[in-house]
Amino acid sequence: MPFQDKTGSRRFVLASVGLLMAVAAIYAAYRLFTPPAPEIDVAYNTVSRDGFYQVMFETEAQPIPVHETHDWVVTITTPDGTPVNDASISIDGGMPAHGHGLPTEPQMAEALGDGQYRVEGMRFNMGGHWEIRIGISADPGLDEAVFNLDL
Amino acid sequence: MKAARRHVAIGALCGFLALSACDATALSEDEKAKIASLSIDALGPVPPAPGNRFADDPRAADFGRLLFFDEGLSESGTISCATCHIPDQQFQDGRPRGFGTDETDRRTMPLEGAAWNIWQFWDGRRDSLWAQALTPLEDLREHAGNRTAHVRYIAEAHADSYAEIFGALPDISGIPENASPVGGETERANWDAMTPTQKDGVNRVFANIGKAIAAFERTLIPTETRFDRFARAVAAGSEQTGDAAFSDLELEGLRLFIGKANCLECHNGPRFTDDHFHNTGVPPVAGLPEDLGRAAGIVAVQSDPFNCLGRYSDAMPDACDALRFMKRDATAMERAYKTPSLRGVAGRPPYMHAGQIATLEAVIDHYSSAPAAASGQSEIRGVVFTDRGRQALIAFLNTLDTTPVSDP
Ligand SMILES: [Cu+2]
């Protein structure tokens, strides 16, 4: 490595700092003037549209698999946490940006008790943003929970 | 949220490392993940075939290979599966539409990797390889045979091989020479005259012919391509050498494929297919009968007596996932066809379900112009390509050809 005198390396440091600041400023401006990415709820726990139910789901495999038919376990409680055991549920969904639905017709297979229900036949045939709608019919009323998944 | 965070991270990285790490040729983590998802290394073992308990029996596979090439399984004695599925042409025939005793209405499909399919045929009207194999055997324009003739031929030419795998043949002494529930008028009348026991015995042997052929087809696995060697080097973080190195044009094409061109929406996973059906606005061929694609396939697969839920299937009903959770909405599936694998695609023109498009150039034009569907709704949103972009996509598709490893 060739010898470098102090002033040279100092100048180099100053220039680097300057460059860094410039890049940072450009990036900040870029962030300022591009619209923020839409805030999408990716938590697998949500309140149904009309507030009747707290709905959660877990998948057989993590992360949620693409290209694999798999099961979900959906847990339904009232907002105060009481398990809802008499529900019948339906699953629908699709990719809003692509204008298509699910590649399968998933079905509720069995009630497991404790507000839990096993859903079979879930399948995603591509990565990207999916919207899953779980329709719930039980004593508190008819309602729908919507989940946004980024696969 | 996730995407936004990634954005910030990349921004910060570029800020700190200034110009060097941000040159346009470095692959992002997201691109690397997508490349890995397409690599042959992401392909798991051949999935189980619950409907066929002989699927992984090597004797059945040997017998199946024999039957695949056996012209005795045809009315004229001149046609076998290999007539249309030619082994050294990726098990397809290069014609716009397959030709047996006459021209069919659809393009012959390549068979390497077919064992991974959930649905068979362009419209998915069969749910297993063994059920699929029975269809051409009785199609008038393909093998043009019929059920009892095929079973009598097995008894005459292959009784020992058959018995070794499947057990003794049933008594076929009294059955008609030509009979089938799906044949011409004479064959159907002859079939109707048979006793239930005779019919069942014939159906069982017929199903076993399919099961043996399926066991053979399960050995036809996709071969490694230049793209796979490139992807392996990317995954390992090592330099791409020899033919694993992509040219600028190939890399640009790959990036388009997994990015702006949206191809990955449907051609995804290591077989470059999502195993589903899409209307992509490919026009019908003038003069052919109306073809509704998957909309008709949905009905046909449910009524197939050899499907996973049928009595000749070895599967417990619970194991028939594909049928149980099948999307039954026929209107949404009008003129939708199964996404074909793109492995080896450059080597097998013409393209699409009835050979409508002659070249890859014209395929790219199709995705660019995105014509409206003749019926149903096309899912393709036109993509504007530059001339270089077109060339790049085609260069990339060429890297999916199955060429042997070249010496560096
Ligand atoms: Cu999509």
Equal CATH topology for B2-46+223-289+339-398 and B58-217: yes
Separation in Å, CA of B321 to nearest CA in chain A:
7
Residue B362: both structure tokens together: 């014209």
Is A6 inside a domain boundary? Answer: yes
What distance in Å separates the CA atoms of residue B275 and residue B337, rounded to the nearest whole number?
Answer: 10
CATH of domain B58-217: 1.10.760.10
B332 Cβ under 8 Å from any chain A Cβ: yes
Number of domains in chain A: 2
- Number of A to B CB contacts under 8 A, please give it: 79
Whether residues A134 and A76 share a domain: the answer is yes
Q: What would the DSSP string read from start to end of B240-251?
A: P-GGGSPPHHHH
pLDDT for residue B36? 97
Residue A13, CA distances (Å) to A5, A20, B85, B221 in order: 13, 10, 67, 57
Domain ranges of chain B: 2-46+223-289+339-398, 58-217
> For residue B117, what is the nearest residue in chain A, using CA coordinates?
A67
Same-domain check for residues A141 and A89:
yes
Residues A27 and A55 in one domain: no
User: Ligand 1 mean position to B229 CA, how many Å?
Assistant: 28
| Residue B364: CB atoms within 10 Å | 22
pLDDT band at A38 (very low <50, low <70, confident <90, very high): very low
Q: What DSSP string describes A105-129?
A: --EEEEEEETTEEEEEEE---SSSE
Task: Reduce the DSSP state of residue B39 to 3 states and report it.
Answer: coil
In a domain, A130, yes or no: yes
Chosen from A68, A108, A125 to mutate, greatest number of chain B CBs within 10 A: A125
Residues A88 and A114 in one domain: yes
Amino acid B65 reads R
User: How far is the C-alpha of A104 from the C-alpha of B40, rounded, in Å?
Assistant: 25
Q: Are residues A73 and A24 in the same domain?
A: no
Residue B218: per-residue pLDDT: 98
B45 close contact with A: CB closer than 8 A: no
The nearest alpha carbon in chain B to A100 belongs to B379
CATH number of the CATH domain containing A100? 2.60.40.3340
Contact assessment for residue B260 and residue B295, using Cβ atoms and an 8 Å cutoff: no
Alpha carbon of B4: minimum distance to chain A alpha carbons (Å): 6
Partners of A42 on chain B (C-beta within 8 Å) are 1-2
Q: Among all residues of chain A, which has the CA nearest to that of B275?
A: A125
**How much is the ipTM here?**
0.85
Name the residue in chain A with its Cα closest to that of B42.
A67
Farthest CA pair distance, chain A: 82
A129, A94: one domain: yes
A103 found inside a domain: yes
- Asked, for residue A131, whether it belongs to a domain, the answer is yes
Tell me, yes or no, whether A40 lies in a domain. Answer: no
Contacts of B217 (CB under 8 A, 6+ apart): B64, B68, B111, B114, B115, B129, B133
Fold held by B2-46+223-289+339-398: Cytochrome Bc1 Complex; Chain D, domain 2 (1.10.760)
B18/A contact by beta carbon, under 8 A: yes
Is B6 in CB contact (< 8 Å) with chain A?
no
First to last CA, chain A: 48
Domain of residue A73, residue span: 45-150
* Residue that has been written with the tokens 């059945």 in this structure: B60
DSSP code for B322? H
Are residues A75 and A29 part of one domain? Answer: no
User: Could you read off the pLDDT tens digit of each residue along chain B, which spans 408 residues?
Assistant: 344 444 444 444 443 433 333 335 689 999 999 999 999 999 999 999 999 999 999 999 999 999 999 999 999 999 999 999 999 999 999 999 999 999 999 999 999 999 999 999 999 999 999 999 999 999 999 999 999 999 999 999 999 999 999 999 999 999 999 999 998 999 999 999 999 999 999 999 999 999 999 999 999 999 999 999 999 999 999 888 888 999 999 999 999 999 999 999 999 999 999 999 999 999 999 999 999 999 999 999 999 999 999 999 999 999 999 999 999 999 999 999 999 999 999 999 999 999 999 999 999 999 999 999 999 999 999 999 999 999 999 999 999 998 655 543
Is A39 contained in some domain?
no
Chain A residues within an 8 Å CB radius of B278: 100
Chain-centroid distance, C-alpha A21: 35
Q: State the pLDDT at residue A44.
A: 87
Are A101 and B268 a contacting pair at CB < 8 A? no
What pLDDT does B183 receive? 86
